[in-house]
């Protein structure tokens, strides 16, 4: 693709201060998001997905976390070089974000209408009445009926799915170019999950905004994403178009992730699980971080972080044994 | 909301009855014969008997209790022995003084307690936080009457800025009232400022770690708006619940502080009653203050319900 | 504690066993406010214990020649209107204040624990006991103490009783809350299923696991007791005027506040240091023992 990407992470590195010094939560992460596409970021909890999203938003905790390297280019501008004032102007206006916990993400003491309206007013020269009208439209758009009445409701009067719809309405309030959705459906019932994913896709179709969809659920990825970034222990393991990820994974970890996802279309005797667990962030393995759990690991894997190798069009994997991995993928 | 209010008021009735029972019971604790204490060592048996009849002490316990409640329903708290007038009259004369000082203290407490607590929380783990928490801790550790005395030494004796005591009604001379009431109010308020600052700080820290604060920031609101609107509205909920307690401590603290500053409020009324063994006055005064505070607590609870939509809207 | 079966020794009980030796003690020693508080409290305690050694003269010995001496090399804290040495008086005052504080804590703990445990364990008693505590708590604490002390007549003992009574409902409530939580835990229900008596379950299974919040509460009760004792003494409702309690020293000094402000300032400072120490101690204990209310890593 020749056009400049909407969002481009370049060697992003985010550190956290733990009890025993600094640890690297996001290590050398690079990927692009083009206008109008849905990029799925997938990985286990603790793989650095959410930290990546918070780094983009500039919402890392003020103490105990810092971005120590790299660039976050949004429409060509490095967000890390912006003042906090400029960042604030961007948040909610050009980049919206929705979170995993719909139950606690809305302020319990304000009516939901107010929480949408204030977002609009914070970014635009607009009267309260016009902002209210738009908030009602937004609620309508995200599938909440009789929005004018609902606007006066408090969060505790709504179900989890409804609250997440309100969160989406807030995120869409100023028609952002990019939406970061951090596990938006994880806390919800399966049926509501599907409805919300449909809603996100519809809105994306309509508005042409880009979405970064963070999830640990391969099913969600399969349903929505155009492209997928697989993260493991703070690093990008594999990046590929969605069909390639499912059909021809080239990183043993991706293979493992797919194997551990239930799939009713395949007749399987049992779920395949990845042996072991995520390495402790304080003491990561010296070489490839997946090596201790990888059934293909060889001595070289522990000798240094494997470089991403290009496998096909827009398909990279950070593994020394991509070929064997792809055959492993076919076997399972 | 209305149902909640009614429920809350109904709940207060048995408590009020128990409160009056306790204040009645306190007087039963008086060792020996209160009548002989009151009549003095030189009283003749006939005089002693007269005092006993006046106080109703000649009747059996349950009858006394019955009469006590009967009088209470008529609004009769008894007759002061020292002042020679009904307890209610004495209390009503003095209460505006105490209430004005308690409210002044309350205003100081809320303004400074909130400000210090919020400041400490938003500058968590910095020197600002250190100073604020140290100040709050020292505040909760100083005896208020002693603080009053130290302030007299500094501001009245050495600097000659403020009077050592006395009182000017607000209605007569607002400036005079301010001058006279400032030291008492500050010495009353300091400990409560410390308490409120500690509560505010810990609540604020908790609130700031909540998801909805992250949402507010993600919306691109200014930090001032995030703190002043989104965080503070949630911090106010627990703060309001302790306001009743704070007011109660301020009212009762006035017993001592009014004595220190020679202020003619309910506090010094009770203080003098204690020194003069004016038992009906002590009993009635205690009951009055407890009833006022109980009422205030209901008001505070309703305010709390109003502030928290999870309670209000049901 | 007799653990006949493994299932009856849950994590909480094991933790209690190693309470003072293990991790908790180490964390306390690392907690800054706990250490400062412990140092201050130990200091005051040492002064109280060794008062006869610290005091240069008898606290009641008068020396009219030296009346109203401001603090100096010879009289580090000055002398009062009768030439009594304030060092001696404040040191002996520490004894009285700490003894009254300790008395309040013990009496308060005994009744608070008993009533709180009964209310928490026996649902039928709960309503009545809690309404009673509501009523007691409707009185501002210091006023109730004043009322009780006034009725019983001034003495150190009545001060102890009055202050203990005032804080019993508060302590009982805290214990009740913990009992309600612990009661529902599996090892308690296992004991019940095994047919253990109520007394055994309550005193050997539940109460030992409710100690953390109680210890925290008692450290604050101690602080309030020292403060309130001074108030009672100041109003003439505490120890008799011949004993140099800190509150009495302040109330005596008050008459000479113009000529000899140190008579007021010094004993109040002693109260402040003691209460500050106890508050710091309590904060530290709460942070380490009672993680529910711990809100930051400071």
Name A54's Cβ contacts closer than 8 Å, sequence gap at least 6: A60
Sign of CA dihedral A23, A27, A33, A37: negative
Name B17's Cβ contacts closer than 8 Å, sequence gap at least 6: none
Instruction: Supply φ then ψ for residue A14, to 5 degrees.
Output: -120, 130
User: What does the alpha-carbon distance between residue A21 and residue B267 come to, in Å, rounded to a whole number?
Assistant: 56
User: What does the alpha-carbon distance between residue A31 and residue A39 come to, in Å, rounded to a whole number?
Assistant: 10
Q: At CA A54, angle to CA A48 and CA A59, rounded to 5?
A: 145
Nearest-CA distance from B302 to chain A in Å? Answer: 16
- pLDDT at residue A273, as a whole number: 66
**What are the percentages of helix, strand and coil residues in chain A, rounded to 5?**
35, 25, 40
Nearest CA in chain B to C296: B205
**What are the percentages of helix, strand and coil residues in chain C, rounded to 5?**
75, 0, 25
Whose tokens are 């120890």? That residue is: C239
pLDDT digits (tens, 9 = 90+) for A124-169: 999 999 999 999 999 998 989 899 999 999 999 999 889 999 999 9
- Sketch the domain layout of chain B as residue ranges: 87-313
User: What does the alpha-carbon distance between residue B257 and residue B149 come to, in Å, rounded to a whole number?
Assistant: 9
Could you tell me which chains touch chain A, where touching means 3 or more CB pairs under 8 A? B
User: What does the alpha-carbon distance between residue B4 and residue A290 come to, in Å, rounded to a whole number?
Assistant: 58
User: What does the alpha-carbon distance between residue B131 and residue B115 come to, in Å, rounded to a whole number?
Assistant: 13
Per-residue 3-state assignment (H helix, E strand, C coil) for A287-321: CCCCHHHCCCCCHHHHCCCCCCEEEECCEEECCCC
Residue A260 lies in a domain: yes
User: What does the alpha-carbon distance between residue C207 and residue B121 come to, in Å, rounded to a whole number?
Assistant: 35
**Cβ within 8 Å, pair C257-B153:** yes
User: What does the alpha-carbon distance between residue A304 and residue A301 come to, in Å, rounded to a whole number?
Assistant: 7
User: What does the alpha-carbon distance between residue A329 and residue A314 come to, in Å, rounded to a whole number?
Assistant: 19
Nearest-CA distance from B63 to chain A in Å? Answer: 52
**Cβ within 8 Å, pair B214-A96:** no
User: What does the alpha-carbon distance between residue B247 and residue B265 come to, in Å, rounded to a whole number?
Assistant: 16
Lowest mean pLDDT segment, chosen from A100-109, B34-43, B288-297, C119-128: B34-43
- CB B153 within 8 Å of CB C264: yes
- pLDDT at residue C203, as a whole number: 81
Nearest-CA distance from B206 to chain A in Å? Answer: 13
Helix (H, G, I), strand (E, B) or coil at A66: strand
**What are the percentages of helix, strand and coil residues in chain B, rounded to 5?**
80, 0, 20
Domain C22-52+77-297, CATH: 1.10.3720.10
Q: What's the rounded mean pLDDT across residues B173-186?
A: 89
User: What does the alpha-carbon distance between residue A64 and residue A261 come to, in Å, rounded to a whole number?
Assistant: 34
Taking the Cβ of residue C263 and every Cβ of chain B, the question of whether any pair is shorter than 8 Å is answered with no
User: What does the alpha-carbon distance between residue B62 and residue B70 come to, in Å, rounded to a whole number?
Assistant: 12
User: What does the alpha-carbon distance between residue B30 and residue C45 come to, in Å, rounded to a whole number?
Assistant: 34
User: What does the alpha-carbon distance between residue B250 and residue B109 come to, in Å, rounded to a whole number?
Assistant: 10
pLDDT digits (tens, 9 = 90+) for A287-317: 888 888 888 888 888 887 888 888 888 888 8
Give the number of beta-carbon pairs within 8 Å between A and B: 80
Nearest CA in chain A to B125: A63
- pLDDT at residue A314, as a whole number: 86
- CB A34 within 8 Å of CB A100: no
Q: What is the ipTM of this complex?
A: 0.86
Nearest CA in chain B to A89: B220
pLDDT digits (tens, 9 = 90+) for B13-53: 887 887 788 878 877 777 666 676 666 667 778 877 777 77
Tell me the average pLDDT of chain A: 86
**More confident position, A244 or B271:** A244
Taking the Cβ of residue C272 and every Cβ of chain B, the question of whether any pair is shorter than 8 Å is answered with yes
Instruction: Supply φ then ψ for residue A303, to 5 degrees.
Output: -95, -10
Token code pair at residue A206: 């309509």
Residue A180 lies in a domain: no
Nearest-CA distance from C265 to chain B in Å? Answer: 7
**Cβ within 8 Å, pair B206-C138:** no
Instruction: Supply φ then ψ for residue A83, to 5 degrees.
Output: -70, 165
Nearest CA in chain C to B279: C151
Name B189's Cβ contacts closer than 8 Å, sequence gap at least 6: B105, B106, B108, B109, B112, B250
User: What does the alpha-carbon distance between residue B234 and residue B240 come to, in Å, rounded to a whole number?
Assistant: 10
- pLDDT at residue A272, as a whole number: 58
Lowest mean pLDDT segment, chosen from A73-77, A267-271, C179-183: A267-271
Token code pair at residue A305: 């972080």
- Sketch the domain layout of chain C as residue ranges: 22-52+77-297
Task: State the pLDDT confidence band at A329, using cuts at 50, 70 and 90.
Answer: low
**Cβ within 8 Å, pair B307-A109:** yes
- pLDDT at residue A267, as a whole number: 52
Q: Is B220 left (phi over 0), alpha (psi -120 to 50) or beta?
A: left
Total number of domains in chain A:
1
Instruction: Supply φ then ψ for residue A27, to 5 degrees.
Output: -125, 105
Whose tokens are 């969160």? That residue is: A167
**H helix intervals, B29-86:** 34-39, 45-55, 61-73
Whose tokens are 């009855």? That residue is: B17
Token code pair at residue B76: 């009769």
- Kind plus residue range of the DSSP H or E element containing A240: strand A235-241
Residue A257 has pLDDT above 70, yes or no: yes
Residues of chain B neighbouring A122 (CB-CB closer than 8 A): 219-222, 225
Q: What is the pLDDT along chain C (298 residues), one digit of tens a residue?
A: 333 333 333 334 444 544 555 677 788 888 888 899 999 999 989 988 887 877 777 777 776 776 777 777 776 777 777 767 778 888 888 888 899 999 999 999 999 999 998 888 888 888 888 888 877 877 778 888 888 888 888 788 888 999 999 999 989 988 988 888 888 888 888 888 888 888 888 888 888 888 888 888 898 899 999 998 888 888 888 778 777 888 888 888 888 888 888 888 888 899 999 999 999 988 888 888 765 543 333 2
User: What does the alpha-carbon distance between residue B150 and residue A157 come to, in Å, rounded to a whole number?
Assistant: 54
- pLDDT at residue B8, as a whole number: 80
Whose tokens are 């050592």? That residue is: B164
Residues of chain C neighbouring B150 (CB-CB closer than 8 A): 264-265, 268
Residue A330 has pLDDT above 70, yes or no: no
User: What does the alpha-carbon distance between residue A108 and residue A154 come to, in Å, rounded to a whole number?
Assistant: 7
Distance from the Cα of residue B279 to its chain's centroid: 21
Residue B105 has pLDDT above 70, yes or no: yes
Torsion of CA B267, B269, B274, B278, to 10 degrees: -150
User: What does the alpha-carbon distance between residue B109 and residue B245 come to, in Å, rounded to a whole number?
Assistant: 12
Residue A158 lies in a domain: no
Sort B84 into a burial class: Cβ within 10 Å, 0-12 / 13-18 / 19+.
Answer: exposed
Domain B87-313, CATH: 1.10.3720.10
Nearest-CA distance from B31 to chain C in Å? Answer: 6
Going by C-alpha positions, the residue among B299, B294, B270, B271 that lies closest to residue B77 is B270
User: What does the alpha-carbon distance between residue C173 and residue A88 come to, in Å, rounded to a whole number?
Assistant: 47
Sign of CA dihedral B52, B55, B61, B66: positive
Residue A18 has pLDDT above 80, yes or no: no
Strand order in the sheet with A65-74: A21-33, A7-18, A65-74, A77-78
Residues of chain B neighbouring C142 (CB-CB closer than 8 A): 249, 252-253, 255-256
Bridge-based pairing state of the strands A315-317 and A235-241: antiparallel
Q: Which domain holds residue A298?
A: 252-332
Strands, E, within A3-134: which ranges?
Answer: 7-18, 21-33, 38-42, 65-74, 77-78, 95-98
Name C53's Cβ contacts closer than 8 Å, sequence gap at least 6: none
**Cβ within 8 Å, pair B230-A107:** yes
User: What does the alpha-carbon distance between residue C245 and residue C235 come to, in Å, rounded to a whole number?
Assistant: 12
- Kind plus residue range of the DSSP H or E element containing A180: strand A178-182
CB atoms closer than 10 angstroms to residue A145:
8
Bridge-based pairing state of the strands A235-241 and A178-182: unpaired
Mutate to test the interface with C, among B149, B153, B251, B257 (most CBs of C within 10 A): B149
Residues of chain A neighbouring B310 (CB-CB closer than 8 A): 108, 154, 156
- CB A242 within 8 Å of CB A69: no
Residue A327 has pLDDT above 50, yes or no: yes
Taking the Cβ of residue A119 and every Cβ of chain B, the question of whether any pair is shorter than 8 Å is answered with yes
pLDDT digits (tens, 9 = 90+) for A36-67: 899 999 988 878 888 999 999 999 887 788 99
Instruction: Supply φ then ψ for residue A109, to 5 degrees.
Output: -100, 0
Tell me the average pLDDT of chain B: 84
- CB C229 within 8 Å of CB C292: no
Lowest mean pLDDT segment, chosen from A226-235, B208-217, B271-280, C87-96: B271-280
Nearest CA in chain B to A107: B212
CA gyration radius, chain C: 22
Could you tell me which chains touch chain C, where touching means 3 or more CB pairs under 8 A? B
Q: What's the rounded mean pLDDT across residues A115-129?
A: 93
């Amino acid at each position: 693709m020749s056009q400049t990407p909407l969002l481009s992470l370049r060697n992003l590195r985010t550190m956290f201060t733990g009890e025993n010094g600094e640890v690297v939560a996001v290590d050398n992460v690079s990927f692009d998001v083009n206008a109008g596409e849905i990029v799925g970021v997938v990985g286990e909890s603790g793989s650095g997905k959410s930290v990546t999203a918070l780094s983009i938003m500039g919402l890392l905790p003020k103490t105990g976390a810092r971005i120590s390297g790299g660039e976050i280019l949004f429409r060509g501008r490095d967000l890390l070089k912006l003042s906090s004032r400029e960042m604030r102007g961007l948040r909610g206006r050009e980049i919206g974000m929705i979170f995993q916990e719909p139950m606690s993400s809305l302020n319990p003491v304000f009516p939901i209408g107010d929480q949408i309206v204030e977002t609009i007013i914070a970014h635009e020269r607009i009267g309260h009445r016009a902002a209210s009208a738009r908030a009602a439209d937004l609620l309508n758009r995200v599938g909440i009926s009789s929005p004018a009445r609902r606007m006066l409701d408090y969060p505790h009067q709504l179900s989890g799915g409804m609250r997440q719809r309100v969160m989406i309405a807030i995120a869409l309030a100023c028609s952002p170019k990019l939406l970061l959705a951090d596990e938006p459906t994880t806390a919800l019932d399966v049926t509501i999950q599907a409805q919300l994913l449909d809603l996100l896709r519809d809105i994306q179709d309509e508005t042409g905004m880009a979405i970064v969809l963070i999830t640990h659920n391969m099913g969600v990825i399969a349903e929505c994403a155009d492209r997928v970034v697989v993260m493991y222990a703070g690093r990008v393991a594999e990046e590929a178009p969605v069909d390639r990820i499912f059909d021809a994974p080239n990183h043993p970890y991706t293979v493992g992730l797919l194997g551990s996802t239930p799939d009713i279309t395949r007749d399987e005797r049992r779920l395949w699980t990845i042996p072991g667990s995520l390495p402790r962030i304080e003491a990561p393995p010296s070489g490839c971080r997946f090596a201790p759990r990888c059934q293909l690991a060889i001595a070289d894997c522990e000798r240094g972080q494997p470089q991403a190798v290009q496998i096909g069009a827009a398909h990279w994997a950070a593994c020394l044994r991509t070929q064997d991995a792809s055959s492993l993928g076919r076997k399972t | 909301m209305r149902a909640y209010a009614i429920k809350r008021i109904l709940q207060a009735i048995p408590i009020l009855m128990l409160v009056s029972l306790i204040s009645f019971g306190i007087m039963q604790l008086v060792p020996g014969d209160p009548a002989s204490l009151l009549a003095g060592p030189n009283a003749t048996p006939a005089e002693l008997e007269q005092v006993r009849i006046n106080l109703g002490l000649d009747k059996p316990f349950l009858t006394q209790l019955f009469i006590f409640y009967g009088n209470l329903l008529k609004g009769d708290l008894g007759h002061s022995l020292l002042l020679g007038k009904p307890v209610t009259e004495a209390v009503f004369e003095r209460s505006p003084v105490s209430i004005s000082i308690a409210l002044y203290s309350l205003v100081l407490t809320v303004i400074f307690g909130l400000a210090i607590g919020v400041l400490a929380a938003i500058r968590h783990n910095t020197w600002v936080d250190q100073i604020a928490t140290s100040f709050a801790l020292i505040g909760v550790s100083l005896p208020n009457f002693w603080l009053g005395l130290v302030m007299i030494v500094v501001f009245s004796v050495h600097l000659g800025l403020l009077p050592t005591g006395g009182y000017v009604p607000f209605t007569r001379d607002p400036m005079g009232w301010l001058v006279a009431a400032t030291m008492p109010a500050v010495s009353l308020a300091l400990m409560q400022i410390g308490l409120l600052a500690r509560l505010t700080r810990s609540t604020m820290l908790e609130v700031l770690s909540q998801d909805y604060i992250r949402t507010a920031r993600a919306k691109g609101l200014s930090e001032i708006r995030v703190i002043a609107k989104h965080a503070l509205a949630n911090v106010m909920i627990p703060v309001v619940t302790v306001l009743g307690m704070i007011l109660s401590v301020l009212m009762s603290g006035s017993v001592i502080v009014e004595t220190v500053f020679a202020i003619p409020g309910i506090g010094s009324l009770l203080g003098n009653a204690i020194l003069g063994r004016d038992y009906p006055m002590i009993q009635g005064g205690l009951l009055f203050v407890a009833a006022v505070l109980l009422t205030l607590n209901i008001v505070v609870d309703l305010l709390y319900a109003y502030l928290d939509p999870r309670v209000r809207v049901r | 504690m007799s653990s006949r079966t493994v299932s009856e020794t849950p994590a909480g009980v094991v933790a209690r066993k190693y309470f003072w030796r293990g991790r908790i003690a180490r964390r306390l020693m690392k907690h800054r406010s706990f250490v400062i508080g412990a140092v201050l409290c130990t200091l005051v305690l040492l002064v109280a214990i060794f008062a006869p050694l610290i005091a240069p003269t008898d606290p009641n010995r008068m020396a009219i020649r030296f009346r109203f001496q401001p603090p100096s090399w010879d009289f580090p804290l000055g002398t009062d209107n009768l030439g009594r040495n304030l060092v001696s008086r404040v040191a002996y005052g520490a004894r009285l204040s700490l003894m009254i504080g300790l008395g309040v804590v013990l009496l308060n703990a005994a009744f608070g624990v008993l009533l709180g445990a009964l209310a928490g364990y026996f649902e039928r008693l709960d309503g009545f006991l809690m309404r009673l505590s509501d009523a007691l708590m409707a009185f501002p604490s210091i006023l109730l103490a004043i009322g009780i002390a006034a009725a019983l007549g001034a003495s150190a003992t009545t001060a102890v009783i009055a202050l203990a009574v005032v804080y019993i409902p508060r302590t009982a409530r805290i214990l009740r809350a913990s009992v309600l939580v612990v009661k529902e835990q599996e090892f308690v229900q296992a004991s019940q299923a095994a047919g253990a008596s109520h007394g055994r379950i309550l005193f050997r299974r539940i109460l030992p696991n409710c100690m953390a919040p109680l210890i925290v509460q008692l450290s604050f009760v101690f602080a309030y007791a020292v403060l309130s004792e001074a108030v009672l003494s100041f109003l003439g409702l505490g120890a008799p005027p011949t004993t140099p309690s800190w509150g009495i020293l302040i109330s005596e000094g008050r008459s000479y506040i113009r000529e000899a402000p140190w008579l007021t300032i010094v004993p109040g400072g002693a109260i402040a240091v003691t209460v500050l120490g106890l508050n710091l101690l309590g904060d530290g204990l709460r942070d380490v023992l009672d993680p529910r209310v711990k809100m930051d890593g400071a």
